[in-house]
Amino acid sequence: MLNTELLTLKIKTMRLLINEALARAQYEGRLIEKKELAEALFPEVAPASRVVTMANICSGKTKRIDPAWVPIICSMCGCSADYLFGLSNQ
């Protein structure tokens, strides 16, 4: 029998760069707060839950990213989806 080596692939954790997008939006003159973004993303959720959910998304603790969030965040922050996922600087 042949000995084989096991390869371990490290999968880079993908997280949305919301903090960076908000900072960029403020630099460009858009006054957007996480609270406003949370209201747009989760209108049916209680305000206290929005705060926790946004904190988890911004810190990368949220394991699932809803594709419907991406255009909302991009339009409010004025960035591209590539920027939001860290694929470009635009």
List, for residues 6-57, the tens digit of each pLDDT value: 333 333 456 789 999 999 999 999 999 999 999 999 999 999 999 999 999 8
Amino acid at 78: G
Which of 12, 17, 13, 11 is CA-nearest to residue 70?
17
Radius of gyration of the chain (CA): 17
Indicate if the pLDDT at residue 74 is higher than 80.
yes
Q: What angle do CA 19, 78, 84 make, to 5 degrees?
A: 45
59 pLDDT band (50/70/90 cuts)? confident
Cβ-based neighbour number of residue 44 at 10 Å: 6
